[in-house]
Amino acid sequence: MFLTIIIAIAALIIIGFSAYFIVQARRIERGEELQLEESGSTTTPEPAVAAPSFRDRLGKTRAALSGYLGSVFGRGDINDETWQHLQDALIRADVGVGTSADIVATVRSKAAADGVTDKTELAGLVKTEIVSRLKGFDRSMSTAREDSATENGKTKPAVWLFVGVNGVGKTTTIGKLAHREASAGRSVVLAAGDTFRAAAVEQLSVWSERSGVEIVKGSSGADPSSVVFDAVEHAAARAVPLVMADTAGRLQTKTNLMEELRKVRRVAEKGAGTVTETLLVIDATTGQNALSQARQFGEAVDVSGVVLTKLDGSAKGGIVIAIHAELGVPVKFVGLGEGITDLVEFDPHEFVAALFE
Amino acid sequence: MFETLSDRFERIFQGIRGRGKLNQADIDATLAEIRLALLEADVNLDVVESLTQRIRNRALGQELSKALNPSQQVVKIVLDELTVSLGGEAMKLTYASKPPTVVLLAGLQGSGKTTNAAKLAQWFKKQGRHPLLVGADLQRPAAVEQLRTLGEQIDVPVFSETSRPTKVAKKALKEAARTARDVVIVDTAGRLAIDQTLMAEIANISSAVNPHYTLLVVDAMTGQDAVTMARAFDQTLALDGVILTKLDGDARGGAALSVKEVVGKPIAFASTGEKIEDFDTFYPDRLASRILGMGDVETLIEKAEEAFEQEQAEKAAERLLEGTFTLEDFLEQMQQIKKMGPLGNLVGMMPGLPKEARNAELDDSHLARVEGIIRSMTPAERAQPDVINGSRRLRIANGSGVQPTEVKQLLDQFSQMRQMMKQFSGMGSKKFNPKARSKGKKGKQRRGGRVTHNDSARSTASNPAKGSAKPPKVPLALPGLEDRLRGF
């Protein structure tokens, strides 16, 4: 720690000094300017037709990709271009360069081994390969505890903690999950742990009313840990087995905010509660940064699963393949809209089908 | 952190120092790396293809400059190209001759519309205008409450009612006229670009209020889909510009490039933090170097310019390189640095720092700890840390509430650093003039830096016009500075 600070300060001093010169060096004349070219086609996205199933909801985005994928999985024999197109298609789905190249290499050697030369057969191979990378993960939501759920006749609630960067849909996800639990006849207490963003508590309150579950709030700017702690105590006192805790969105690079999150997790277990799930909410439109999110939130609060939201848009959320592979954290739920029922369990086959249909 | 692009280039170019021109093979090797770097930064694949094509055309046959080595040269071409692509014509906000000037915000869910509506209002306020915020997001629970709370914080009135968004927007115009507000900022619900019903709704809002500016709010973390989204919004609303949000994270922000290419309109503002003040005009050159993973030296330098007192910094740097830097100097500089903002952010902006330093958990409480230790020393001890023995160490530790080992650690690191810096300056090349020497470049004779420009430039010390993004600033200085800093 000291070394870093000293290095940083030394560097900054030099920068302070160099600033003077550097400012002037900027004045060097620039080369010729280049015209921006308008890139791309003018196709309008497909119409949106709402239907509350994973496959149907995803279907509306298929058209956008299918034209492109025709060149990958269309007719004809496999050639070098096919592999390039396959890799490009994966990159476009935010799978990432490294993972895409890896998938293509694996499929390519399998195709060679099996003597596959036909593109339609190839499609099967690709899907199988990606599905296999998403298989073998436990996607269930745990409320179980090693010891019994009560102690001295007092309930010991399970806590599901929701974390993520700003604007991914944490509060909405809790709203939907609370509804899901409540409809299944389980009682839930919501903890309005986002005490930072304006009106976040009100937003969660609306969801709690919609699904008829209790909510514990603190005042704006209150310590989120204390709100979560209160919610756990409240649940324990009323024999409610589950607490869902909202937290303020935070960028994974903000050390102090990540520290705050660690504390929330610690304090959630200080009383009667046990954190049985820590769900990282990721926006499907996010690109490669999602991996950094998963890594750093994972380090801070030991993420047990991912909720992939906004998958009803045109984004594919392909980065979760890398998240499965690198961090061993599975996607548990998928958000498909703003309605209270628009949250479904993740299914690898359907996810992959949506990538490629 | 990835290997920086210039590190990779360095490797590629090791063999071609003596040549006068970049040839096809050199270019192809670097283009592959550029392509990878851009894709890792989430630039859309189509945009990457067209960009690399343009870079190839520019780089082919380019005369090698005497001042830069080949890798620096290509980095410069790439940076220039990205800067031009990101920048172009700046958005000039003019106000309607018949107020109010109407600004409509649109974007996906969670991109930050509501927060940035307030930030924009604050910005207009600073320009001496009187904004009215309009809560036309009736979709998301408590969105209007959020806007009201923010409005209160910045003392800007908020208009909304529970009806339909179009109606709210229309009424807001009357409200603005009635209360003599000259800027109206309309916050709308987040919507997916493929949701035709909601896209039709925002088209209706737009035709109801006839906005002077329609701004798309884009999350800097967006992936490949940014293009689809931007295109759809542009077709529905005819965008005038973009607000780029969440730039304070570690996302490289390639989405901005994608959006810029598709929409062809300027990125007007960038949001760089959770506070309302963290909102500023967009600097294309900074994002360009960030997309390439080269750190954000420009912002750092600007902060340094604001915080440092030139004389003092120069002296400190000189002493640092001479090895006579004392803990007193260190403390003094630390105060200056604190003015520049959280240390963690600053370190993140520094290019070429070792990975451990970048990823280290640095918050300002650490700084305070160091400060506490130094402040518990006597002036004599600060000037001559060598006098500190076991009992002095214990006294300092007690005084600052730390363990004696921590004091020892700090002192050890400090003297190591002093040693290191002294070595640097010892290796400094004669080619540099005395002042430039203190910048501490390693001795190896690359055709380094901008030494050639210094003399002519020093006479014109004027600050480049801040804020006017007209001709994008040329980050020529970057490769050189990066080389120097890599020394640490």
Q: What would the pLDDT profile of B94-115 be if each residue is shown by its tens digit?
A: 898 888 999 999 999 999 999 9
Residue B34 touches chain A, beta carbons under 8 Å: no
End-to-end CA distance of chain B: 17
What is the mean pLDDT of the segment spanning A5-27? 56
Please choose, from the candidates B26, B8, B11, B28, the residue with its C-alpha nearest in 3D space to the C-alpha of residue B64.
B26
SS (H, E, C) B59-127: HCCCECCCCCCHHHHHHHHHHHHHHHHHCCCCCCCCCCCCCCEEEEEEECCCCCHHHHHHHHHHHHHHC
Looking at every residue in chain B, the average pLDDT score rounds to 77
Residues of chain A with pLDDT > 90, as a percent, come to 58
Q: Is residue B167 within 8 Å of A233, Cβ to Cβ?
A: no
Residue A221 touches chain B, beta carbons under 8 Å: no
ipTM over 0.85: no
B101-294: CATH architecture: 3-Layer(aba) Sandwich (3.40)
Q: Given an 8 Å threshold on Cβ–Cβ distance, is A165 in contact with B410?
A: no
User: What kind and span of H or E run contains B183?
Assistant: strand B183-188
pLDDT over 70 at B488, yes or no:
no
Determine the Cα angle at A265 with ends A259 and A270, to 5°: 120
Instruction: Tell me the pLDDT tens digit for each residue of A275-310.
Output: 999 999 999 999 999 999 999 999 999 999 999 999
pLDDT over 90 at A155, yes or no:
no
**What is the structure's pLDDT at B173?**
95
Q: Given an 8 Å threshold on Cβ–Cβ distance, is B453 in contact with A259?
A: no
For the B299-486 domain, the top CATH level (class) is mainly alpha
**Which tokens in the block code for residue B477?**
């200085």
pLDDT band at B337 (very low <50, low <70, confident <90, very high): confident
Residue B64 touches chain A, beta carbons under 8 Å: no
Q: Is residue A158 within 8 Å of A143, Cβ to Cβ?
A: yes
Give the distance from residue A68's alpha carbon to the nearest chain B alpha carbon, in angstroms: 12
pLDDT band at B2 (very low <50, low <70, confident <90, very high): very low
Number of Cα atoms under 13 Å in the Cβ half of residue A100 = 22
Residue A38 touches chain B, beta carbons under 8 Å: yes
Residues of chain B with pLDDT > 70, as a percent, come to 71
Mean pLDDT is lowest, of A41-45, A77-81, B411-415, for A41-45
Find chain B residues with C-beta within 8 A of A58's C-beta. Answer: none
Residue B86 touches chain A, beta carbons under 8 Å: no
Residue A46 touches chain B, beta carbons under 8 Å: yes
Q: Given an 8 Å threshold on Cβ–Cβ distance, is B476 in contact with A11?
A: no
- Comparing alpha-carbon positions, the chain B residue that sits nearest to A209 is B141
Residue B237 touches chain A, beta carbons under 8 Å: no
Number of Cα atoms under 13 Å in the Cβ half of residue A276 = 21
**Which tokens in the block code for residue A43?**
């196709």
Mean pLDDT is lowest, of A62-76, A160-174, A178-192, B133-147, for A62-76
For chains A and B, count residue pairs whose Cβ atoms are closer than 8 Å: 341
Residues 6+ apart with CB under 8 A from A128: none
> Which of A9-23, B185-199, B264-278 is predicted most confidently?
B185-199
Q: Is residue A218 within 8 Å of A202, Cβ to Cβ?
A: no
What is the mean pLDDT of the segment spanning B51-73? 73
Please choose, from the candidates B10, B12, B34, the residue with its C-alpha nearest in 3D space to the C-alpha of residue B23.
B12
Cα B341 to Cα B200: distance, rounded to the nearest angstrom:
43
Please choose, from the candidates A97, A49, A31, the residue with its C-alpha nearest in 3D space to the C-alpha of residue A312.
A49
Pick among A33, A39, A62, A283 to test the B interface (most B CBs inside 10 A): A39
Please choose, from the candidates A331, A334, A353, A355, the residue with its C-alpha nearest in 3D space to the C-alpha of residue A344.
A334
Find chain B residues with C-beta within 8 A of A4's C-beta. Answer: 347, 356-357, 360, 362
What is the mean pLDDT of the segment spanning A207-223? 90
Q: Given an 8 Å threshold on Cβ–Cβ distance, is B264 in contact with A38?
A: yes
Q: Given an 8 Å threshold on Cβ–Cβ distance, is A253 in contact with B221?
A: no
Tokens 């507000």 sit on residue? B181
Residue A49 touches chain B, beta carbons under 8 Å: no
What is the mean pLDDT of the segment spanning A185-199? 93
Cα A232 to Cα A245: distance, rounded to the nearest angstrom:
9
Residue with more model confidence, B51 or B441: B51
Residue A312 touches chain B, beta carbons under 8 Å: yes
Residue B88 touches chain A, beta carbons under 8 Å: yes
C-alpha torsion angle, residues B259, B263, B266, B271 (rounded to 10): -40
Q: Given an 8 Å threshold on Cβ–Cβ distance, is B109 in contact with A165?
A: no
Give the distance from residue B266's alpha carbon to the nearest chain A alpha carbon, in angstroms: 12
End-to-end CA distance of chain A: 50
Residue B192 touches chain A, beta carbons under 8 Å: yes
* Own/partner long-range contacts of B321-325 (Cβ < 8 Å, ≥24 apart): B321/B421, B321/B422, B321/B424, B321/B425, B321/B428, B321/B437, B321/B438, B321/B440, B322/B422, B322/B425, B323/B418, B323/B419, B323/B421, B323/B422, B323/B425, B325/B418, B325/B421
Q: Given an 8 Å threshold on Cβ–Cβ distance, is A8 in contact with B347?
A: yes
Distance of CA B280 to the CA centre of its chain: 11
Residue with more model confidence, B282 or B160: B160
Q: Phi and psi (nearest 5°) for B349?
A: -85, -15
Alpha helices in chain A (DSSP H): 2-25, 54-59, 62-73, 80-92, 97-114, 119-134, 170-183, 200-211, 224-237, 255-268, 289-301, 319-327, 348-356
**Which tokens in the block code for residue A67?**
């034209």
Q: What DSSP string describes A232-262?
A: HHHHHHTT--EEEE------TT-HHHHHHHH
What is the mean pLDDT of the segment spanning B377-395? 90
Cα A334 to Cα A55: distance, rounded to the nearest angstrom:
11
- How many C-beta neighbours within 10 Å does residue A217 have? 19
Q: Given an 8 Å threshold on Cβ–Cβ distance, is B224 in contact with A256?
A: no
Pick among B140, B202, B219 to test the A interface (most A CBs inside 10 A): B219
pLDDT band at B200 (very low <50, low <70, confident <90, very high): very high
Q: Is residue A340 within 8 Å of A175, Cβ to Cβ?
A: yes
Q: Is residue B183 within 8 Å of B120, Cβ to Cβ?
A: no
Residues 6+ apart with CB under 8 A from B370: A2, A5, B334, B410
Q: Given an 8 Å threshold on Cβ–Cβ distance, is A203 in contact with B108?
A: no
pLDDT band at B160 (very low <50, low <70, confident <90, very high): very high
pLDDT over 80 at B227, yes or no:
yes
pLDDT band at A357 (very low <50, low <70, confident <90, very high): low
pLDDT over 60 at B468, yes or no:
no
Q: Given an 8 Å threshold on Cβ–Cβ distance, is A34 in contact with B112?
A: no
Residue with more model confidence, B122 or B13: B122
pLDDT over 50 at B426, yes or no:
yes
Tokens 């499907």 sit on residue? A284
Residue with more model confidence, A77 or B117: B117
Give the distance from residue B381's alpha carbon to the nearest chain A alpha carbon, in angstroms: 18
Residues 6+ apart with CB under 8 A from A84: none
Find chain A residues with C-beta within 8 A of B356's C-beta. Answer: 4
Q: List, in order of start, the domains of chain A with CATH numbers.
A: 154-303 (3.40.50.300)
Q: Given an 8 Å threshold on Cβ–Cβ distance, is B112 in contact with A61?
A: no
The minimal CB distance from B317 to the residues A17, A33, A251 is found for A17
B5: amino acid identity, one letter? L
Mean pLDDT is lowest, of A259-263, B207-211, B449-453, for B449-453
Q: Which of residues 103-162 of A touch B (CB under 8 A)?
A: none
pLDDT over 70 at A107, yes or no:
yes
Determine the Cα angle at A28 with ends A22 and A29, to 5°: 155
User: What kind and span of H or E run contains B279?
Assistant: strand B279-281
Cα B156 to Cα B127: distance, rounded to the nearest angstrom:
14
Q: Given an 8 Å threshold on Cβ–Cβ distance, is B356 in contact with A4?
A: yes
Looking at every residue in chain A, the average pLDDT score rounds to 82
Find chain A residues with C-beta within 8 A of B300's C-beta. Answer: 12, 15
Bond into A241 cis (ω within 30): no
**What is the structure's pLDDT at B179?**
95
Please choose, from the candidates B212, B253, B7, B250, the residue with its C-alpha nearest in 3D space to the C-alpha of residue B97.
B212
Residue with more model confidence, B199 or B287: B199
**What is the structure's pLDDT at B292?**
75
Residue with more model confidence, B1 or A300: A300
Q: Given an 8 Å threshold on Cβ–Cβ distance, is B362 in contact with A255?
A: yes
Q: Which of residues 197-216 of A touch B (CB under 8 A)?
A: 197-200, 202-203, 205-207
- How many C-beta neighbours within 10 Å does residue B157 have? 17
Pick among B195, B290, B483 to test the A interface (most A CBs inside 10 A): B195
**What is the structure's pLDDT at B84?**
86
**What is the structure's pLDDT at B361?**
56
Residue with more model confidence, B296 or B144: B144
Q: Phi and psi (nearest 5°) for A283?
A: -80, 130
**Which tokens in the block code for residue B246?**
């969440």
Q: Is residue A12 within 8 Å of B337, Cβ to Cβ?
A: yes
Domain ranges of chain B: 101-294, 299-486
Residue A168 touches chain B, beta carbons under 8 Å: yes
**What is the structure's pLDDT at A60?**
46
Q: Given an 8 Å threshold on Cβ–Cβ distance, is B458 in contact with A24?
A: yes
Mean pLDDT is lowest, of A314-328, B206-220, B351-365, B451-465, for B451-465
pLDDT band at A53 (very low <50, low <70, confident <90, very high): low
Find chain B residues with C-beta within 8 A of A256's C-beta. Answer: 363
- How many C-beta neighbours within 10 Å does residue A288 have? 23
Find chain A residues with C-beta within 8 A of B225's C-beta. Answer: 94, 285, 313-316
Mean pLDDT is lowest, of A77-81, B237-241, B422-426, for B422-426
- Comparing alpha-carbon positions, the chain A residue that sits nearest to B263 is A38
Residue A217 touches chain B, beta carbons under 8 Å: no
Instruction: Tell me the pLDDT tens digit for each residue of B229-287.
Output: 999 999 999 999 999 999 887 788 899 999 998 888 889 999 988 888 888 888 887 78
Angle between helices B143-154 and A200-211 (to 10 degrees): 160
* Secondary structure class of B318 (helix, strand, coil): helix
Pairing relationship of beta strands A305-309 and A274-283 according to DSSP bridges? parallel
Residue A10 touches chain B, beta carbons under 8 Å: yes
**What is the structure's pLDDT at B451?**
33
The minimal CB distance from B193 to the residues A20, A31, A45 is found for A45
Please choose, from the candidates B299, B294, B116, B291, the residue with its C-alpha nearest in 3D space to the C-alpha of residue B221.
B291
Cα B195 to Cα B488: distance, rounded to the nearest angstrom:
51
pLDDT over 50 at B421, yes or no:
yes
**What is the structure's pLDDT at B283?**
82
Please choose, from the candidates A333, A318, A327, A277, the residue with its C-alpha nearest in 3D space to the C-alpha of residue A299.
A327
Q: Phi and psi (nearest 5°) for A279?
A: -100, 125
Cα B405 to Cα A39: distance, rounded to the nearest angstrom:
61
Residue with more model confidence, A62 or A137: A137
Tokens 């490294």 sit on residue? A98
Residue B327 touches chain A, beta carbons under 8 Å: no
Find chain B residues with C-beta within 8 A of A206's C-beta. Answer: 141-142
pLDDT band at B417 (very low <50, low <70, confident <90, very high): confident
**What is the structure's pLDDT at B413?**
82
Find chain B residues with C-beta within 8 A of A165's C-beta. Answer: 221, 246, 249
> Which strands sit side by side in the sheet containing B267-271, from one edge to the other?
B158-159, B131-136, B183-188, B101-107, B213-219, B241-245, B267-271, B279-281
